[in-house]
Amino acid sequence: MRPVVTASDLEKIAPGGELGIASDTLITPLARDEAVRRNITLRVIRDSSDRPIPGVVQSPIKYGKPGEDDRGRKLVAIAADHGGVELKEALKIHLEDWDYAVVDFGTRGAESVDYPDFAAAVAEAVACGRAWRGVAIDSAGIGSCIAANKIPGARAALCYDRATARNSREHNDANILTLGAKLIAPETAREILAVWLATPFGGGRHAKRVDKIIALETKYCGPKK
């Protein structure tokens, strides 16, 4: 049986503290909300073979308000599978140069891993309010987009140029960007990311349509708690 973390399990953790969890732990929505409210980090620990597992936070972050670090910088969650790890490392440098706080959920090397694990880690961070935006990368970007969009509250968009990046934000209020590392050049990826981060949601007629997307999610997945 998979372990479960509930809100009551967090009562013994001091605000700003940390709880180590196994890679297959189920975290209830109330527990996620409580962790955000009390600034508790749920950190995935290594498995019994001492190998890094999906979800490990590589760079400790001191959190401030939801979606920010303690310095008030907007927090971007990023992750990639083995096909996107080089692009991830390059984009992390740009994000830090642009004064964003970055949480890297892995992977670290070229060993084959499964993209849904990493896309889900990013999507969960965004959906629970831990991160302001998220970026998930694999070879084509399609699988990460599909996986991320299974997480309630995530609106992931696969973008391949500046126009799609702008549209995904302005029209769809996308909160996760997915990229195909084998299909676009690193410089193109940098431009896409810059436009995507800088473009505000257009609101107006687009808000009604995004509300309908959220209504579909509620209809088939239940209300977000």
Among all residues, which ones are annotated catalytic?
Answer: 171
Instruction: Determine contact, residues 47/22, Cβ cutoff 8 Å.
Output: yes
DSSP string, the chain: ---EE-GGGGTTSPTT-EEEE-TT-EE-HHHHHHHHHTT-EEEEPP-TT----TT--SS---B-STTBBTTSPBEEEEEE-TTTHHHHHHHHHHHHHTT-EEEE----SSS---HHHHHHHHHHHHHTTS-SEEEEEESSSHHHHHHHTTSTT--EEE--SHHHHHHHHHTT---EEEEETTTS-HHHHHHHHHHHHHPPP--THHHHHHHHHHHHHHHHH----
Instruction: Determine contact, residues 193/137, Cβ cutoff 8 Å.
Output: no
